[in-house]
Each structure stands twice: as structure tokens, then as C-alpha cells.
Amino acid sequence: MNSNYKESFEQIKIAGSLAAETLDEVTPYVKPGVTTEKLDKICYEFIRDNGGYSAPLFYRGFPKSSCSSVNHVVCHGIPSQKYLKEGDIVNIDVTAIVNDWHGDTSRMFFVGDVSVKCKNLVSTTYNSMMEAISIIKKGTHLGDIGETIQSYVEKKGFSVVRDFCGHGIGKTFHEAPNVLHYGKKGDGIKLQSGMIFTVEPMINEGAYKTKMLKDGWTAVTKDKSLSAQFEHTVGVTDDGFEIFTKSKKKYDQPPYLI
Ligand code: MF3
Ligand code: CO
Ligand code: CO
């Protein structure tokens, strides 16, 4: 990576902004009685109507344009005709491609009123992601990111999923490096200015083990406890970071005031 990354940051910011605006757009529709398929359609159409393409659609055979992961689903839930119900928590994960560049982001949503337990898990997950992003700059080790998330989360009594990680992103959806959400300070490569990757911790209420459902995509917690996730696409600079997938409506974490 060289110092001439301005152009790539400008490009990925376009894709990242569209992905973030897509989540802003779908937010008022996340209510009891809506199906995740309906939410997926809203995401698909918004991205298409704004000059992008949904990266998940047909990616390695994935059948939909977004992932929706409800309650004990850790990630990669397939939108379906199942209704969301009061008290559910759901992650919606969208990735927009614009001019070949990928912007990848996800947020949690509360379906109606949710339990205090859900609120704690969700805010812990959000805070762990933002704490980790806040230490990003040239020279930070990948392990510093992992340790920041892990220590924050474990202090609250929750666990960090090991089976999925963040990833480099750009003109390809998933590329090197793997960004682990657990680890030790000083481990792993040193970040260089111009690198672009996602931070997307999956945090479980119970144990960190996951299980894959028969559909080959849906990952759930092995102990059926709740799981939460947020995701941003970020870039590394000499003295800090840039987040490419920020909400324009301050829909950073629920409850979203519409
Ligand atoms: N958006 C997911 C990620 O954060 C990847 C989804 S791949 C899919 O990396 F095929 F499941 F959509
Ligand atoms: Co991702
Ligand atoms: Co994603």
C-alpha cells in the first residue's frame, strides 16, 4: 500500500455511503409483523435505484441481497418469509458495489420493545466495535484490534465469536487480511496507511461456539444464546482512521429515533 490512497478512499466512500444509507432507509420498516424478505427487497431496490449492486446476491450461491440474522443467529441469516416479532433483535448486513468498489456494513435493530438483556448485548457489541476502530492508525497491530474487542466484551460477561472475522475489502468483497475480533496486543501485521478493511464483531450472550444450519449459510450459537453484530468499513491513515459506512441519520445503534 502506498501513500497515494486518496483516490481509493474516495471511491470506497461512495460505496460505503450507499450501504449506510440503505440501512438508514430500511430502519423504519423494521417492526413486528414484517418479514425479513420484505426488508431484503427494500435493500435490494434502494441499492439498485441509487446506482449500485448488492454484493451478497449470488455471491458463492447466496440467494438474497442482504443477510438478516435474528436472535441466536450469529451471521449470514437468509431473508425469508418468517415474520419478525416483538422482542426480537435482528442484524441487517448489506454490501453495495459502486464502480466495482464494495462498501460493507451492518447494524442491529430492535423489533418493538426488547429485554434489558438484549439492550446490554447490543450496546456492548456496538461499543466494542467503536473502541477497536478508535485505536486504528498506521502502526497499530491487527492483534490490538482483537484484544480491544475481546477485553471489552469479556469484562461484560459476553463472548467473542471465533469462526468469522472482518476482512480486507475494496474491488473484491473479501480479501486479506483477516481481522480477528479477539487476540493479543502486538500480534499480527502492522497496519499501513491506505489499508481498507471491515471491523465486524459477533458477540454472544453465552459461549462463543457456533453451528452451521443445513442451508449452508446460517450460523447460529451452539448454545442457542443471543448474538449481536455491527460492522463498519474503515480505512487507515497516518494518524487515524476513516469510517466509510457512517449513518447520515445518526442511526448508529438502536433505539433509532425516527
Ligand atoms: N456482508 C457479510 C460480511 O460482512 C458477507 C455476507 S456474504 C453472503 O462479510 F453471501 F452471506 F451474503
Ligand atoms: Co464484512
Ligand atoms: Co457485512
The alpha carbon of 174 and the centre of ligand 2 are apart by a number of angstroms equal to 7
- The minimum-distance atom of ligand 1 relative to the CA of 198 is 4
Residue 2 has pLDDT above 60, yes or no: no
Query: 192: helix, coil or strand?
Result: coil
- The minimum-distance atom of ligand 1 relative to the CA of 76 is 11
The alpha carbon of 31 and the centre of ligand 1 are apart by a number of angstroms equal to 23
Alpha helix (H) ranges present in 50-173? Answer: 116-134, 142-155
- Residue 167's alpha-carbon distances to 2, 37, 93, in angstroms, are 19, 26, 14
Predicted local confidence at residue 140, as pLDDT: 98
- Residue 33's alpha-carbon distances to 108, 111, 126, 148, 169, in angstroms, are 17, 9, 26, 37, 35
The whole model's pTM is what? 0.98
Q: What percent of the chain has pLDDT over 90?
A: 98
pLDDT in tens, 61-85: 999 999 999 999 999 999 999 999 9
Residue 38 has pLDDT above 70, yes or no: yes
pLDDT in tens, 158-216: 999 999 999 999 999 999 999 999 999 999 999 999 999 999 999 999 999 999 999 99
- The minimum-distance atom of ligand 1 relative to the CA of 60 is 10
Does the Cβ of 128 fall within 6 Å of ligand 1?
no
pLDDT in tens, 80-106: 999 999 999 999 999 999 999 999 999
Average pLDDT across the chain, whole number: 98
The alpha carbon of 105 and the centre of ligand 2 are apart by a number of angstroms equal to 7
